[in-house]
Amino acid sequence: MKHNAKNITNEEFFYGHKACGGCGESLAVRLAMKVLGERTFAALPAGCMSAVSFIYPNMAFTNNAIITPFASTGAVAAGISAGLKALGIEDAPTVGFAGDGGTADIGLQALSGAIDRNDDIIYICNDNEAYMNTGIQKSGLTPYGTKTTTSPAGKNLPGSITMKKNMFEIVAAHDIAYAATASVGYLEDFMAKVQKAKDTKGTSYIHVFAPCPTGWGHESNVTIDLAKQAVDSGLWYLAEYENGEFKLNRNPKEFASVEDYLKAQSRFKHLKDEDIEIIKAHRDKKWQKMRKYWL
Ligand SMILES: Cc1ncc(C[n+]2csc(CCOP(=O)(O)OP(=O)(O)O)c2C)c(N)n1
Ligand code: SF4
Ligand SMILES: [Mg+2]
């Protein structure tokens, strides 16, 4: 069944949390939980989503959920899944919800181990492109030109001087059972991918692009628009890796304006024309490869 706004359950499994208004990550967790259901066991490392949802005596998850050490989402989720199997508990998915820092940097080893063992877990990386919970530090998924507290912008630096680490392809290189990229701007696509991950035996990984008004410096009512614009401008893309093959899900004939996307966010407001050209050239090179091999 295709999940959409009309048929998705009215039941809430993630609510009453303290995320900022317009938080992309909390929307991704909320909708993923609607697809996964109340029998889900969730593991969350340090990061915004655990910080806003496990505030004693309130608990924003109505299902079983636990906070893991920062580096350990993959390992803790794998342990839960093994425990469920040992106890003979069926139809109870295990999901890890980790940030970009908790996935691409400190949590990479535990995730790699889980994929290598093909542990029966779903791993969802909430990518808001920086370490937000500790005050906006650069991660391996922070794009070129982003101003953060550890990648300042000034006379000599354009903000972050590195491009985003390619987590989707790193994960696919393990020959994972199922992997996908998604965006909170395309929620039906995201929910369909969560459903596929739920139906997959073995490890699945979903990398969801999730704007953060507080860290990106944009109005809280444009979160969805920006998440769409990132895809439409080609700075993010929707793809899957399944049965050893890459597949591009969306191939815009023409890209939407990169400038409009960047200008809506204060983290990019210092960028010069030559920095924007670097960003576009990197995008074009990536799409040339994807269009050649993934269509
Ligand atoms: C071992 C360890 N190092 C550092 C921290 C501090 N810390 C907690 S959350 C966080 C940032 C998380 O960033 P990310 O994973 O991108 O998630 P976000 O907050 O952006 O959702 C950091 C650095 C920690 N809790 N444990
Ligand atoms: S700082 Fe960003 S990711 Fe964290 S709760 Fe606020 S909007 Fe969400
Ligand atoms: Mg983050």
pLDDT in tens, 258-292: 999 999 999 999 999 999 999 999 999 999 999 99
Q: Tell whether 238 is covered by a domain.
A: yes
Q: How far is the CA of 12 from the centre of ligand 2 (A)?
A: 20
Ligand 2 in reach of 47 Cβ (< 6 A): no
Over residues 65-84, the mean pLDDT reads 98
3-state secondary structure of 278: helix
Residue 12 forms part of a structural domain: no
Burial environment of residue 1 by CB neighbours within 10 A (0 to 12, 13 to 18, 19 or more): exposed
Substitution candidate for ligand 2 out of 14, 17, 20 with most atoms within 8 A of CB: 20
DSSP E strands in the chain: the ranges are 41-44, 54-55, 58-59, 64-67, 94-99, 122-127, 178-183, 204-209, 239-242, 245-248
Total domains, the chain: 1
Give the tens place of pLDDT for each residue, 105-135. 999 999 999 999 999 999 999 999 999 999 9
Ligand 2 neighbour 29 (Cβ under 6 A): no
Strands ordered across the beta sheet of 41-44: 64-67, 41-44, 94-99, 122-127, 204-209, 178-183, 239-242, 245-248
Query: Is position 193 within any domain?
Result: yes
Confidence of residue 221 (pLDDT cuts 50, 70, 90): very high
- Average model confidence (pLDDT) across the chain: 98
Is residue 144 within 8 A of residue 279, CB to CB? The reply is yes
In a domain, 2, yes or no: no
Name the band, by pLDDT with cuts 50, 70 and 90, for residue 1.
confident
Q: Which residues contact 106 (CB under 8 A, 6 or more apart)?
A: 70, 71
Contact present, 193 and 180 (Cβ < 8 Å) = yes
Calculate mean pLDDT across residues 240-252. 97
Q: Whose CA is nearest to atom 8 of ligand 2?
A: 23
Using a 6 Å cutoff on CB, does residue 134 contact ligand 1?
A: yes
Question: Is residue 164 a part of any domain in this protein?
Answer: yes
Give Cβ neighbours of residue 41 (< 8 Å, ≥ 6 apart).
63, 64, 65, 66, 80, 81, 84, 92, 93, 94, 95
**Ligand 1 pocket, 70 CB below 6 A?**
yes
For 187-206, what is the mean pLDDT? 98
Closest CA to 239 of 282, 284, 285, 196: 196
What is the C-alpha to C-alpha distance for residues 46 and 69, in angstroms, rounded to an integer?
A: 7
Q: Is residue 3 part of a domain?
A: no
Place of tokens 């050893």: 244
Ligand 1 atom index nearest CA of 132: 20
Does residue 5 fall inside a structural domain?
Answer: no
Domain membership of residue 277 as a residue range: 24-293
Q: Within 10 A of 245 (CB to CB), how many other CB atoms are there?
A: 10
Output the domain CATH number for residue 270: 3.40.50.970
Above pLDDT 70, what percent of the chain?
Answer: 100
**Position 1 in a domain:** no
**With a 6 A CB cut-off, is 23 part of the ligand 2 pocket?**
yes
Q: What is the pTM of this model?
A: 0.98
- pLDDT tens column, 158-181: 999 999 999 999 999 999 999 999
